[in-house]
A and B are shown apart, each in its own frame.
Chain A
Amino acid sequence: MQRSAAAVSVEVKQVIAALCRLLTTSGLESVPAPEQFRRAKFGGGPEVENQFWQLLATILQKCSIVSCEAIAGEHRKLVAAGLWQTGYHADWMYEQGGEEGGEGGRFSSKDLLLALGWLLASGTLEKLLTQRVEQLDKTLILTPTPVNPQLSNGLPLDSASLRRLQWLVGSLRHQGRTLLSMQEERTRLLHAVSVASLPSSVSSSSSDQSSTLLKKDCVCMQQLCDLLEAYLNWTQVEKVFWTWMDSVVDGHLTDPVVKKPVEAPNNRGRRCRHGNCGLEKLEDMLLTLPTRQKGQRRVREAPEDRGEGGLLQGRSDSCLHPLSGSPRLPSCPLVYRLKTERPVRYNSPGAHGGANTAEELPASQAAELLLQTEALLLERRDRQRLANRMQLQEMIGRLDKLVLIPP
Chain B
Amino acid sequence: MSIVTVQLGQCGNQVGQQLFDSLCCDAQDGQRKERCTASCERFFHQNMHGDLVARAVLIDMEPKVINQSISRAAKSGRWRYGETSHFSQKQGSGNNWANGFCVHGPGHTEVVEELVRREVERCDRLSGLMAMMSVAGGTGSGVGTYVTQCLRDIYPKSFILNHLTWPYGTGEVIVQNYNTVLTLAHLYKLSDAILVHENDTVHQICSQLLNIQQISFADVNTVIAHQLGSVLQPALTAESHGVYSRNPLGELVGALCCHPEYKLLSVSTIPQVPSASMAYSSFSWPSLLKHLRQMLISNTKMEEGIDWQVRPPAASERSRSLTAGSFNTSLANVLILRGKDVYSAETAGFEDPALYTSWLSSEEAFSVWKSPVPFNKYEKSATLVSNSQALLSPLDSMVGRAWNMFASRAYIHQYTKFGISEEDFLDSFTSLEQVISSYKQLR
Which A residues contact B (CB, under 8 angstroms)? 160-161, 163-164, 166-171, 173-175, 177-178, 180-182, 184-185, 188-189
Contacts and interface: CB of A to CB of B under 8 A. Distances in A.
A180 B359 CA distance: 29
A174 B260 CA distance: 12
7 tightest Cβ-Cβ pairs between the two chains A and B: A170-B258, A185-B125, A160-B359, A174-B254, A171-B258, A164-B359, A178-B250
Q: Which among B124, B127, B357, B359 has the greatest number of chain A C-beta atoms within 10 A?
A: B359
A286 to B, nearest CB: 52
B102 interface: no
Interface string B252-264: 0110011111000
Contacts of A174: 159, 192, 250, 253-254, 258
Contacts of A184: 125
8 contacts: A161-B359, A163-B357, A167-B359, A169-B258, A170-B257, A171-B258, A174-B254, A185-B124
A166 B257 CA distance: 11
Contacts of B253: 174
Contacts of A167: 258-259, 359-360, 364
A266 B159 CA distance: 71
Contacts of A175: 254
Contact of A163 (B126, B247, B359): B359
B157 interface: yes
Given A160-B359, A185-B125, A188-B124, A178 B258 contact: no
Given A167-B359, A171-B258, 5 more contacts: A170-B258, A174-B159, A174-B254, A184-B125, A185-B124
Contacts of A180: 157
A402 to B, nearest CB: 47
Contacts of A182: 125
Q: Which of B126, B127, B257, B258 has the most CB of A within 10 A?
A: B258
B358 interface: yes
Contacts of A181: 125-127, 157-158, 247, 250
A189 B124 CA distance: 8
A178 B247 contact: yes
Contacts of A164: 359-360
B73 to A, nearest CB: 28
A160 B254 contact: no
Determine the main DSSP class of A at the interface with B: helix
A180 B250 CA distance: 12
A173 B127 CA distance: 15
B358 A177 contact: no
Contacts of B360: 164, 167
B358 A166 contact: no
Nearest to A164: B359
B154 to A, nearest CB: 14
Contacts, number: 56
Contact of A168 (B257, B258, B260): B258
Given A166-B260, A181-B126, A171 B358 contact: no
Nearest to A192: B124
A189 B257 CA distance: 30
A177 B157 contact: yes
Contacts of B258: 166-171, 173-174
Nearest to B128: A181
Contacts of B192: 174
Contact of B259 (A161, A170, A177, A188): A170
A169 B158 CA distance: 17
A177 B257 contact: no
Given A164-B359, A181-B126, A181-B157, A170 B260 contact: yes
A181 B125 CA distance: 7
Nearest to A182: B125
Interface in B154-169: 157-159
B389 to A, nearest CB: 15
A160 B260 contact: no
Contacts of B125: 181-182, 184-185, 188
B71 to A, nearest CB: 35
A177 B359 contact: no
A100 B325 CA distance: 76
A169 B258 CA distance: 8
A175 B251 CA distance: 9
Interface in B372-411: none
Contact of B254 (A171, A185, A188): A171
Interface string B115-129: 000000000111100
Nearest to A188: B124
Contacts of B159: 174, 177
Contacts of A170: 257-260
B415 to A, nearest CB: 33
Contacts of B359: 160-161, 163-164, 167
A330 B296 CA distance: 71
Contacts of A166: 258-261
Nearest to A166: B259
Nearest to B254: A174
A368 to B, nearest CB: 33
Contacts of A169: 258
Contacts of A173: 258
A184 to B, nearest CB: 7
Contacts of A168: 258
Contacts of A163: 259, 357, 359
Contacts of B247: 178, 181
Contacts of B126: 181
Contacts of B157: 177, 180-181
